[in-house]
Amino acid sequence: MRTTATTTLLLFVTLVSFHSCYYDNEAYLYSTPVSCTDTTSTYTARLAPILNNNCVSCHGAGEFPNLSSFQDVNTLKEEIVCRVVEGNSCSSGAQMPPSAGLNTCDIQGFTLWQQNGYQE
């Protein structure tokens, strides 16, 4: 009887650990690196929506810098790319947006914009 109880317990423990391994693996699978699909980026198609969603609340018309038109964004392009891509390592100031930065694929949008000559 004793042996049966021990065996049952061992079996239970083994099943529980395999079960949790399964979930660990699943969690790992879902947290593998993001793949960004963009191969190019222009202000109109890629950056304007990002800027409107993440920057214009603080950098709208009447604020400095105003980031709501291509002309304004183009004037500060190096500074914008530095703050967004290099974050707090940017030599001229803090990461933008200040709290959390942008997600990986949106940051890549700025890198591609720079690499492709800051196109409108």
Q: Which chain residues interact with ligand HEC by CB under 6 A?
A: 54-55, 57-59, 65, 67, 76, 79-80, 83-84, 93-94, 96-98, 102
| 120 neighbors 43 (Cβ within 8 angstroms) | yes
CB of 117 to ligand HEC, least distance (A): 18
Q: Which is nearer to ligand HEC, 17 or 52 (CB)?
A: 52
The sign of the dihedral angle between the CA atoms of 77, 82, 83, 84 is positive
CB of 98 to ligand HEC, least distance (A): 5
Q: Which is nearer to ligand HEC, 32 or 92 (CB)?
A: 92
Who contacts 1 (Cβ-Cβ below 8 Å, separation ≥6)? none
CB of 78 to ligand HEC, least distance (A): 9
Who contacts 97 (Cβ-Cβ below 8 Å, separation ≥6)? 54, 55, 58
Q: Which is nearer to ligand HEC, 3 or 91 (CB)?
A: 91
CB count, 10 Å around CB of 55? 23
Q: Which is nearer to ligand HEC, 24 or 63 (CB)?
A: 63
